[in-house]
Structure 1
Amino acid sequence: MTSKAFRLPCGNGCVRISQLEGQRVALWGWGREGRAAWRALRSRLPELPLTLFCTPDEAAEAHALGDSWLAPEGAPDADRLSSFDVVVKSPGISPYRPEALVAADRGTRFIGGTAMWFGERAGEDGVVASTICVTGTKGKSTTTALLAHLLRAGGTRTALAGNIGMPLLELLDPPVEPQAWAIELSSYQTGDVAASGARPEVAVALNIFPEHLDWHGSEARYISDKLQLLTGARPRVAVLNANDPRLTALSLPDSETLWFGDRRGWHLRGDVLYRADREVMDTSSLPLPGRHNRGNLCAVLTALEAMGHDGVALAPHAASFLPLPHRLQVLGQRDGTTWVNDSISTTPHATLAALECFGERRIALLVGGHDRGVDWSGTADALAARSPLAVVTMGANGPRIHRLLEGRGSYRLCAAADLADAVEQAREALGGDGVLLLSPGAPSFGPYRDYVERGRHFASLAGFDPDAISTIQGLGIH
């Protein structure tokens, strides 16, 4: 077994890039996160030898950088990973892959860019000042963007970054220091915060449903990893959904806990927003897709108050929020059909939430994609009770979903070869009257790089400009 002298964390308990000096270090992954990690390492350790595990095309791109201390290689096995003290891993690469588990058992430390950023910016007490981290299975991107929007509306210079589309390491040394950080974290990144040894000032958990089981390996591990932002990172303040049983069961002795969705704090009564018994505003006309996102406004306001802001004064600024692309995004109308792009929907729960947004309208629903073993039986029951006009299945898990739905509801059930075929069948079922809703309830992997590419293809099939509908406004520091 390889003996490793290197240990993280140390000092005030936080990971520092300077600790990598003289260590055997590799990068695993060369997407946006991997490139951001390379730039961050070079900003602190310009002559640290780095091995890069990547594809041949990515290796050619890396060679073109002219970094003589960077050595690209192909996919690593367990022995190769075990030859390094530290592997800086991109979020999409699971640490539960067999080769990673073997290397970790032999002493290799796996960290991510999120851990590096938090470690670099932690204060003496380990707290990263002015950070509000948001996680949850559903609604976290919109919630994080809304948080940044309200902060900026109140005159606070705010960074919007993380899983939402800008790696934190791209803002490691910002030209202008923000006064607040609105950070979205996926379940791939929450453990990184805990591993960094640093503490967020505020952590928000919206909800927990089974997702990303292929990455985490099991539902129990997904939940455990997701909750690491609370249980492992020990935020100064934890803002939790009072209606989620997994969150209400938590004990967080190191954090002050604030609840939203509870009548003692920020909550909705119907469409009306309340702070305790004080009526604040009607939310029905807010540009927030789905009632769950209007409910998440309560999470945002609770977090803002935890940071010392006036939630009642900031709440009305939600009316000027610009919805994010690919999240219950109404593209427009074509020939009597309303086209809705909910490509970010990667769980059955998200699909059901999308259906609720359109009441009793005629809906043709497109579902299916990458199969990661999520149970659709409860969704099949719900669709039978609230039958859309048509359901079109597609993708790798399409046949499995199709079998579950057969004979369950009054909807017209169709099977499609791909997204283009699904759109045509849905359009035919609607006959020029209703909502054509892409809410797949599954990832896009296989035919598409990510949900953005899938949403762009859907927009082009509908006759809309994919560039015009795909930009997330406000990333970075404003």
Structure 2
Amino acid sequence: MRISQLDGQRVALWGWGREGHSAYRALRGRLPHLPLTLFCADEEVANAQALGDPRLAVETAATAERLSAFDVVVKSPGISPYKPEAVAARARGTRFIGGTALWFAEHAGPDGIVTNTVCVTGTKGKSTTTSLLAHLLRAGGHVTALAGNIGLPLLELPESPVPAYRAIELSSYQTGDVADSGARPDVAVVLNIFPEHLDWHGGEARYVEDKLRLLTGARPRIAIINANDPHLAGLSLPDSDVRCFGHAEGWHLREDVLYRGDRQVMDTAALPLPGRHNRGNLCAVLAAIEALGLDAVALAPHAADFKPLPHRLQTLGVRDGLTWVNDSISTTPFASLAALDCFRSRRVAILVGGHDRGVDWHAFAEAMRHGAPQAIVTMGQNGPRIHELLAPLSGEGRFALSAADDLAMAITQARTVLGNDGVLLLSPGAPSFGPYRDYVARGRHFAQLGGFDPDSISTIPGLGIA
């Protein structure tokens, strides 16, 4: 659905975060006389009313009855379409779309394809992968847009200059929007799928289904998938040219050496991509560049100049002999395991736990039977559940285990075990909701507690068009 098609319809906005603000500006810029209703939280009412828009009504109760009064509700990504009130309103004919859907509909060509646009999703690694893709394209002299879930809503991208390429990160909250838009990405990359956001999706099966909609529903011209992921390997996509990374015929790693088929390209050990999983995602980036018709082999060496993103295995510095690593973006136990693997040769104390979304931690606990860190400190809403799983292993002397009431206490307990030698690793494996607004706020607090400047470690480079 294009923005012009909203003219004359009963339209509401649901959510007043950054995506909500972006949708409002986009609609108001194109349809200045369209009456709008905003559903937002009580504490957001004053901000919305301060706009002084006589055609904007502000309400706080997004009930099924009120949502059903509208033809279209433009919903922020964080609001689940599986909420009972949304399901009930949809059954009565209300259509729910997101800003991502509006943007894709606006930019589709006559054949439905949004040309030279690469969409990237995956449970972990999608931000680094999308940013690295933009970095390599720009290194090749191509004006490239970097936007989406990484920190710049698509509706905030300027229409001028028109970029040669677009690198777009999508969360599982947004992949369905692309499918619902009726547009087709030129290239879609899916890195991996692990259980996450189960409360939003209503279960693991639906999470996987929603994640895969970027491929199954949006029908990209070319689909780039991880040959080693069980949810992706062998996936049937009749409307797409399917290409794999991570196998011997395509882009893959042998130890730390990057190969394109049998051709050795470069050693990746010294690249600023922490963790083997991130260096593996370089293979996905190069496969996407190849899908755009560019020389990926020539661009690969520019990965050496890539600047790692904040809050993603970010080394803040050294304090009293301890290396502080901020991996606040880690919201699944699989991400925590990947973080530990990066420091397997060091003494490590890892801080885990946060908002409880019902994700299973048994695989993490099982992995602690071999190669566990020196210490694990649990915290947050799901901290007690994780602690209970780990307690029998700790009792066998495999690692020190403690529970903390908050991040500051967790740091104190970790430092007690490490002394003046090791890695203090924040890789929670869970969302931050509760004490923190988001993972950025959690990472900034971690930096502050370590004596580092939170402002200097939080900027994502390269957003927008460059």
TM-score range, shorter chain: over 0.9
Q: Hey, what does 2:424 align to over in structure 1? A: 436
Distance 1:186 1:231 in 2: 16
Q: Hey, what does 2:453 align to over in structure 1? A: 465
Query: Aligned runs of 1:397-476 on 2, under 5 Å?
Result: 397-409=382-394, 410-476=398-464
Distance 1:226 1:453 in 2: 26
8 A contact 1:381–1:408 mirrored in 2: no
Q: Hey, what does 2:308 align to over in structure 1? A: 323
Of 5, 9, 14, the residue aligned with 1:28 is 14
Query: Aligned runs of 1:339-350 on 2, under 5 Å?
Result: 339-350=324-335
8 A contact 1:52–1:70 mirrored in 2: yes
Secondary structure in 1 aligned to 2:285? Answer: helix
Displacement of 1:56 in angstroms is 2.8
8 A contact 2:344–2:371 mirrored in 1: no
TM-score where L is the length of structure 1: 0.96
Q: Hey, what does 1:75 align to over in structure 2? A: 61
Secondary structure in 2 aligned to 1:407? Answer: helix
- Say whether residues 1:218 and 2:206 are aligned partners: no
Distance 1:249 1:52 in 2: 43
What whole-Å deviation, never above 9, does each CA across 1:26-80 have from its counterpart, x for those lacking one?
0000111000000110121111000000123322111111211111110311111
Displacement of 1:255 in angstroms is 0.3
Q: Hey, what does 1:9 align to over in structure 2? A: none
- Say whether residues 1:268 and 2:253 are aligned partners: yes
Structure 1's unaligned 5+ residue stretches are 1-14
Stretches of 4+ aligned residues off by more than 4 angstroms: none
Distance 1:384 1:228 in 2: 36
Of 367, 376, 385, the residue aligned with 1:382 is 367
Secondary structure in 2 aligned to 1:468? Answer: helix
Secondary structure in 2 aligned to 1:207? Answer: coil
8 A contact 1:340–1:438 mirrored in 2: yes
Secondary structure in 2 aligned to 1:227? Answer: helix
Distance 1:393 1:417 in 2: 9
Displacement of 1:383 in angstroms is 1.4
Distance 1:249 1:421 in 2: 46
Displacement of 1:432 in angstroms is 1.0
8 A contact 2:330–2:430 mirrored in 1: yes
- Say whether residues 1:193 and 2:181 are aligned partners: no
Distance 1:43 1:324 in 2: 32
Distance 2:322 2:89 in 1: 53
Aligned residue type for 1:413: L
Q: Hey, what does 2:125 align to over in structure 1? A: 139
Question: Aligned pairs, how many?
Answer: 463
Displacement of 1:385 in angstroms is 1.4
Displacement of 1:384 in angstroms is 2.2
What whole-Å deviation, never above 9, does each CA across 1:90-146 have from its counterpart, x for those lacking one?
000000011111111111100000000000111111001110000000100000000
Secondary structure in 1 aligned to 2:457? Answer: coil
Distance 1:130 1:242 in 2: 24
- Say whether residues 1:150 and 2:139 are aligned partners: no
Displacement of 1:174 in angstroms is 2.1
Displacement of 1:269 in angstroms is 0.2
8 A contact 1:267–1:275 mirrored in 2: yes
Query: Aligned runs of 1:23-62 on 2, under 5 Å?
Result: 23-62=9-48
Query: What is the alpha-carbon root mean square deviation over aligned residues?
Result: 0.7
Q: Hey, what does 2:292 align to over in structure 1? A: 307
Distance 1:252 1:135 in 2: 17
Aligned residue type for 1:46: P
Distance 2:55 2:455 in 1: 37
Secondary structure in 2 aligned to 1:435? Answer: strand
Distance 2:360 2:393 in 1: 16
Q: Hey, what does 2:378 align to over in structure 1? A: 393
Distance 2:370 2:33 in 1: 62
8 A contact 1:133–1:184 mirrored in 2: yes
Secondary structure in 1 aligned to 2:78? Answer: coil
Distance 1:56 1:136 in 2: 33
Distance 2:146 2:385 in 1: 38
Of 332, 351, 354, the residue aligned with 2:339 is 354
